[in-house]
Amino acid sequence: MSLVPVLDDDEMKPEARAVINEIRDVRQTDFVNNFWRVLANDPAALKRTWGSLREVMGPGTLDPLTKELIYIAVSIANGCEYCIRSHTAAARARGMSEAQMMELQSVVAMASETNRLAIGLQVPVDDVFKGLPPAPASSGD
């Protein structure tokens, strides 16, 4: 059970319901998951979080499936069950195969293993890894 109610549409304030309906429009489905129904208790937070998510996960230089895989990886590292499950569902809907999911899990586990070794042994950063990218002018383009 969440710390605040999982709101049905008719329990929400109008500002919250407007965001929920925008989620429906963008995702082209009537189903709106609990994360948003809980956030709806704070319409401003709902609007801001959805706005950021829509922008970050929208069209860019990385393809949508890659972004979902990164999202799952972070959620595993942060130990967020809800996020692992909801973004795994999203990734499957975007075409992630079961083999790709298992491979993702192996990469996340491998990274966690070497992360601990590098931190644990206090490996000094090689000079070659400290440099900036060749030309500042090329960044952000």
Site for a second copy in 44-103 (CB under 8 A): 44-45, 48-49, 52-53, 55-57, 60-62, 66-67, 69-89, 92, 97-103
Contact 72, 87 (CB under 8 A): yes
The smaller minimum CB distance to a second copy, of residues 21 and 112, is found at 112
Taking the complex as a whole, the smallest distance from the CB of residue 18 to a second copy amounts, in Å, to: 14
Q: Is 19 in the site for a second copy (CB under 8 A)?
A: no
Taking the complex as a whole, the smallest distance from the CB of residue 131 to a second copy amounts, in Å, to: 8
Question: What is the C-alpha separation between 9 and 23, in angstroms, rounded?
Answer: 13
Q: Is 23 in the site for a second copy (CB under 8 A)?
A: no
Burial label for 53, CB within 10 Å (0-12, 13-18, 19+), is: middle
For the chain, count helices (H), then strands (E).
6, 0
The contacts found for 24-28 with CB under 8 angstroms, 24 or more apart, are 26/54
Tell me the Cα Rg of the chain: 19
Picking from 66, 57, 65, 3, the residue whose alpha carbon sits closest to that of residue 34 is 3
Q: State which of positions 119-138 bind a second copy (CB under 8 A).
A: 119-126, 128-133, 136, 138
Taking the complex as a whole, the smallest distance from the CB of residue 120 to a second copy amounts, in Å, to: 4
Taking the complex as a whole, the smallest distance from the CB of residue 104 to a second copy amounts, in Å, to: 6
